[in-house]
Chains A and B, each alone.
Chain A
Amino acid sequence: MKKTILILTAFMMTAVSAFSEDKEKKDWGYLTGSLESTNHVYVKDAGNNFDPAFQPQLKDGNIFATNDYLKLDYYKGRLSAGLQMEGYFPTLVGYPVAQNKLSLSNLYVSWRDKSYSVTAGTFYEQFGSGLLFRSWEDRMLGLNNALLGARATYNFEDKVAVKAFWGVPRLGKIDDNAAMMGAEDAFFGLGLTKVHVAGADVSVSLSSLLGMEDISLSLEGSLLNKHEALGDLLKAAGCKENTLGWSGRVNFDMDGFFLKGEYVDAGKQIVSVAAAQNGRAAVNGNAQLVEFGYNGRGLGVTVTGRRMDRMTQKIYSFSGTESGYGSLSNMLSYRPAMSTQYTYMLTTLNPYSPEVGDKVIRAGEIGGQIDAFYNFRRGTAIGGKRGMKVHANFSTYYGLNETGGTEGGGLLFRDFSFDLEKQWTKKFKSVLMYSMQEYNKHHENTGLYIGTSHIVVADLLYKWTPKLSTRMELQYLATKDDQGDWMAGLLEVNFAPHWSVFASDMWNHGSTKLHYYNAGLSFSMAHLRVAAGYGRYRAGFICSGGVCRAIPAYTGANISLTASF
């Protein structure tokens, strides 16, 4: 495989060199690409209850793991083509265990004209908010549900846009056992499913059609059909092999006021075999999403409300034997947590992972959030000489009971946060934040165990010279639940524009007395970034875009490289 890559590379390089020499005479197009490599060396750490020997992907005393992605795209006028290769030697701890080899995962060719486009091969797509359908890649989550198939889009000026596709979803990384059983990785590398998905989406801009210049108003709709071979038990219980879903949407914007509404009927969703035996195998999945607010004059306010009822929308609805069923990538739609995505260490200890309705006892969730941003301008009484930015957020979510009602559903998550950002002098800036979080520790049970935490953060940035700056974070979490109080600190020294060094520690002084330390440095120059560090990481969740993945505790060194060209 390595030889193949080198030969392929040499061939393409020669071709590109020829293009480069000749580019003044003729347009030969151009190549771009990116490389991402994340490498870990694991260390046994009794304090963190971590031993590399017990990790499923680390065999025969191996303590090294790496996730690598190489992506190449060629553009020439309206034509583009590309590929992505992925290597897991083996997969990093906490990611789905993958085959320990290099694989071709994405391959596409596309033609894009002014009004239409055609793509064959691998592609990603999203309808509306993604509640009915989304295929995407998130490497941090180890998620990739790309489709292999064909897609066409057509735009009639800026008035009507239509797109349609057919494809077979990829299901992330498959496990070793599945590979040994002959899963279909021969061509596609990382496993194609036996499911076929076809969809169509149309968007009509009424404001453009009617020539309304100050208003933006559009009506949109989507259809999605999934074909999945089912076993006899599910067929006997009345489940159908074709699931047809649809959505209707409206988008409105005028003078900064906006309103978005979306209704999704996902069709009959298969919940579980237990439900099948009760004759309730397939229940209707539906969701409603409303967003409205105002953006203007330094003020930004967004209000979101959403209800999800049996929005399981899996690629494989139910099968304990299909490879990849338990993979995070086993989803056809995007049902994120609609709450603040916190970033400071102690604010992320209990992230909210939404209840999509794939458990028998809970049919889904209902809730909403409000976000408000305001910029006190320079020269005003509160803004002072350099202005001040404030932000507040509130969100609350409740579970739906088995029949889709709210009675007995229980609180799943509630939070309130407030932050204030102020540039005091040319050199000194601070961010102060408070967050209150109420979280349900056991979604799957009765919802009676609610934890509450209060977190304060001070983030202080000081610029010593135009090129030298330091940033310090001080954090405290107070709670009577779980492991009690925590404190955390971070110090970062930046040497612009290339170097950054940091050290941090999270200390659970309320119960375990454990320190989760971390230190590292990064170097970036032009297209290249290299970062290295060493630390102890707590078991928890990695969340990206409102989707969370559980990760085990680990300790070790890491080095990552990203390059684009």
Chain B
Amino acid sequence: MRSILLSLVLFVSAVAAAQVPSVTVENSKGESFDTSVLLEEGTPMIISFWSTSCKPCIRELDAVYESLPDWLDEVDFRVVAVSTDDNRLLAKAKSFAEGRGWGEDFTLLFDKNQDFMRAMNVSVVPHVFVVDSKGKIVFSHTSYVQGGEVELFEAVKKASRK
């Protein structure tokens, strides 16, 4: 166990900035969507992994949804909400997102076999990433407590200045 932790520390000190890998997921119409397309717009983005049974995830995305109009006054960026629900809850996740109004302001993606989640090395949700306009991951955070969205927006502002 100690060797694993030591290895981890060594790794963290050495890694180069990660990027968003190319993985096939679904869009809200059920069509295939290559995640590399997300980088084409060239603006910063928040990528948030969530699921319908994860209450902190929903609270975080709600908080972002509520704050978004004010945030967009300051910075031009996008929010990508990636549902990690299995096929059991896939249709429900789409209806759920609609019932919360997220579809209007977020890009909704559905990762039903968790391929994108694995590729981004997400172990537990909620997990958010901030990606700069060049596609580099500049911030990531696991779990959410009420008010944590302030730190997230600070990271977005920082990313937009790069």
Interface residues of A (CB under 8 A from B): 2-3, 5-6, 9-10, 12-13, 16-17, 19-20, 23, 28-37, 66, 68-73, 75, 78, 80, 87, 89, 112, 124-126, 128-130, 134, 136-137, 139, 153, 155, 158, 161, 203, 205, 216, 218, 251, 253, 256, 258, 260, 291, 293, 295-296, 298-302, 304, 334, 336-338, 341, 343, 371-375, 377, 389, 391, 461, 463, 466-469, 471, 494-500, 522, 524-529, 545-546, 562-565
Contacts and interface: CB of A to CB of B under 8 A. Distances in A.
Given A6-B6, A498-B145, 13 more contacts: A9-B11, A19-B16, A36-B123, A126-B112, A128-B87, A205-B31, A218-B30, A334-B88, A373-B95, A461-B59, A524-B141, A562-B124, A562-B142
Contacts of B118: 71, 124, 137
Q: How large is the interface on B (under 10, 10 to 19, 20 to 34, 35 or more residues)?
A: 35 or more
B43 interface: no
A30 to B, nearest CB: 4
Contact of B145 (A16, A20, A469): A469
B146 A6 contact: no
A126 B87 contact: yes
A341 B53 contact: yes
B19 A30 contact: yes
B15 A32 contact: yes
14 contacts: A23-B16, A30-B17, A34-B123, A35-B5, A124-B114, A153-B24, A338-B88, A375-B98, A461-B59, A461-B146, A467-B150, A468-B147, A524-B141, A562-B142
Interface of B: 1, 3-8, 10-19, 21-22, 24, 28-32, 52-53, 55, 59, 85-89, 91-92, 94-101, 103, 112-115, 118-124, 127, 139-143, 145-148, 150-151
Contact of A334 (B7, B13, B86, B151): B86
B115 A499 contact: no
A16 B87 contact: no
B100 A463 contact: no
Contacts of B55: 343
Contacts of B14: 13, 16-17, 20
B140 A497 contact: no
Contacts of A126: 87, 112-113
Given A13-B14, A75-B21, A336-B86, A301 B143 contact: no
Given A527-B142, A563-B8, A564-B140, A33 B121 contact: yes
B140 A467 contact: no
Given A134-B113, A562-B123, A373 B99 contact: yes
B15 A80 contact: no
| A20, A35, A78 interface centre (most CB from chain B within 10 Å) | A35
Contacts of B89: 341, 545-546
Nearest to B3: A2
B150 A302 contact: no
A341 B24 CA distance: 26
A469 B6 contact: no
Nearest to B28: A295
Which 8 A-B pairs give the minimum distances between C-beta atoms? A373-B99, A300-B95, A496-B147, A545-B86, A336-B88, A300-B98, A494-B145, A497-B148
Given A258-B30, A300-B99, A28 B145 contact: no
A389 B100 contact: yes
Contacts of B146: 461, 463, 469, 471, 494, 496
A89 B123 CA distance: 20
B94 A295 contact: yes
A515 B98 CA distance: 39
A372 B91 CA distance: 11
B140 A529 contact: no
Nearest to A468: B147
Nearest to B8: A35
Contacts of A525: 141
